[in-house]
């Protein structure tokens, strides 16, 4: 059985725990919550048969097989870097955090010192395997468009780009590099960062973000061109009820990744 620590227990975290509840090969022992949110998180987990222990930091003597981050950008600095130094393998969903200059190198160095590994999860997008294979032959361009319902852009700089409550048609709220998108939209542009890290890099991947008042889906579309040929993918994700910014596929992506570590065959 694999012993897991989960960082963050919001929409993704709860969804993952629900799906893992009956998997005999995976056990989440600890959930790490923000300071001051422990009681709320315990409440969220009250209906679980065997709820994980809720803490605000990993105990010094804990040695989970895997740590999975489902929290947000600041959790990388706070929890992932120290865990890597301790030799704990980490799975990351908040990939946009790696847009901060120097953080990729710091994560690599911490993993090397801990003799362990970091896995960046595909989350709400697919095709990362093909894009990253295409990179080997050389890529010429990668263009990504993220289109979400207007409500998904609440409390983001999208509110300055347009009036989200009154737009009557799909409106471009951002155009620029994946690095800038991930910095400005930490809860909405992790996919942009993932595509760029698998492909042409944070500064050469072109990103367009759209608020669409007529859509109830999170639509991720990208087109890559290179020596391999051309690749286009459009993924129409259903948002989670608990968080309209986040697609349900992100939860399944975490469960798949954890299962691949525990089961005899990985796919
Ligand atoms: N790769 C991808 O495709 C996607 C990635 N994401 C990433 O996943 C993150 C989580 O998404 P989601 O579950 O929907 O968000 P939620 O806001 O529903 O949940 C996040 C939870 O993590 C907690 N949290 C935040 N920071 C920390 C921290 N430093 N330590 C411990 N707990 C923390 C929050 O608690 P509190 O509010 O009390 O701080 C909250 O309970 C997003 O912020 C985004 O970065 C999301 C969607 C897709
Ligand atoms: O869940 C999604 O659809 C994608 C998302 O929020 C992100 O890229 O950060």
Contact 33, 96 (CB under 8 A): no
Minimum-distance ligand 1 atom for the alpha carbon of 121: 1
Predicted local distance difference test score (pLDDT) of residue 171: 98
Q: For ligand 2, what atom is nearest to the CA of residue 96?
A: 9
The reported pLDDT for the residue numbered 110 is 98
Domains of the chain: which residue ranges?
2-120, 128-245
pLDDT in tens, 137-175: 999 999 999 999 999 999 999 999 999 999 999 999 999
Both tokens of residue 68? 């999975």
Is the complex ipTM more than 0.90?
A: yes
155 is in an annotated binding site: no
Greatest C-alpha distance within the chain? 55
Between CA 139 and CA 224 the distance in angstroms is 7
Percent of the chain with pLDDT over 90: 100
Is 261 tagged catalytic?
A: no
- Mean residue pLDDT across the chain: 97
pLDDT in tens, 239-253: 999 999 999 999 999
* CATH number for the domain formed by residue range(s) 128-245: 3.30.360.10
Ligand 1 touching residue 16 (CB < 6 A):
no
Residue 28: in which H helix or E strand, if any?
Answer: strand 26-32
- 2-120 against 128-245: fold identical: no
- What is the structure's pLDDT at 261? 97
Ligand 1 centroid distance, CA of 66 (Å) = 18
Residues 180-186, mean pLDDT to the nearest whole number:
98
- Give the position, in ligand 1's atom list, of the atom nearest the Cα of 94: 45
97 Cβ below 6 A of ligand 1: no
Arch. (CATH architecture) of 2-120: 3-Layer(aba) Sandwich (3.40)
SS3 breakdown of the chain: % helix, strand, coil, rounded to 5?
35, 30, 35
pLDDT digits (tens, 9 = 90+) for 190-222: 999 999 999 999 999 999 999 999 999 999 999
Does the Cβ of 237 fall within 6 Å of ligand 1?
A: no
How confident is the model at residue 49, as a pLDDT? 93
State which of 94, 97, 146 you would mutate to test the pocket of ligand 2, scoring each by most atoms of that ligand within 8 A of its C-beta. 146
Reading the block at residue 97, the tokens are: 């955090």
Ligand 1 touching residue 116 (CB < 6 A): no
Provide DSSP, 242-261: TEEEEEHHHHHHHHHHHHHH
Percent of the chain with pLDDT over 70: 100
Residue to probe by mutation, ligand 2, list 95, 189, 205, most atoms within 8 Å of CB: 189
pLDDT of residue 209: 98
């Amino acid at each position: 059985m694999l012993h897991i620590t989960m960082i963050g227990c919001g929409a993704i975290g709860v969804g993952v725990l629900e799906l893992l509840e009956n998997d005999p090969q995976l056990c989440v022992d600890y959930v790490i919550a923000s300071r001051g949110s422990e009681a709320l998180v315990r409440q969220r987990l009250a209906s679980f048969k065997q709820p994980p222990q809720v803490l605000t930091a990993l105990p010094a003597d804990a040695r989970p097989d895997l740590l999975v981050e489902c929290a947000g950008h600041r959790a990388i600095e706070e929890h992932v870097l120290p865990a890597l130094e301790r030799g704990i393998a980490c799975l990351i969903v908040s990939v946009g955090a790696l847009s901060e200059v120097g953080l990729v190198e710091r994560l690599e160095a911490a993993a090397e010192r801990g003799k362990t590994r970091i896995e960046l999860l595909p989350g709400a997008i697919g095709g990362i395997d093909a894009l990253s294979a295409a990179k080997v032959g050389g890529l010429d361009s990668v263009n990504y468009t993220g289109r979400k319902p207007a409500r998904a852009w609440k409390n983001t700089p999208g509110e300055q780009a347009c009036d989200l409550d009154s737009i009557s048609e799909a409106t471009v709220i951002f155009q620029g590099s994946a690095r800038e998108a991930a910095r400005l939209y930490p809860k909405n542009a992790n996919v942009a960062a993932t595509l760029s890290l698998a492909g042409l890099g944070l500064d050469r991947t072109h990103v367009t973000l759209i608020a669409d008042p007529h859509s109830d889906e999170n639509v991720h579309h990208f087109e890559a061109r290179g020596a391999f040929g051309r690749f286009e993918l459009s993924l129409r994700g259903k948002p989670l009820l608990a968080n309209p910014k986040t697609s349900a596929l992100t939860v399944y992506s975490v469960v798949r990744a954890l299962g691949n570590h525990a089961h005899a065959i990985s796919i």
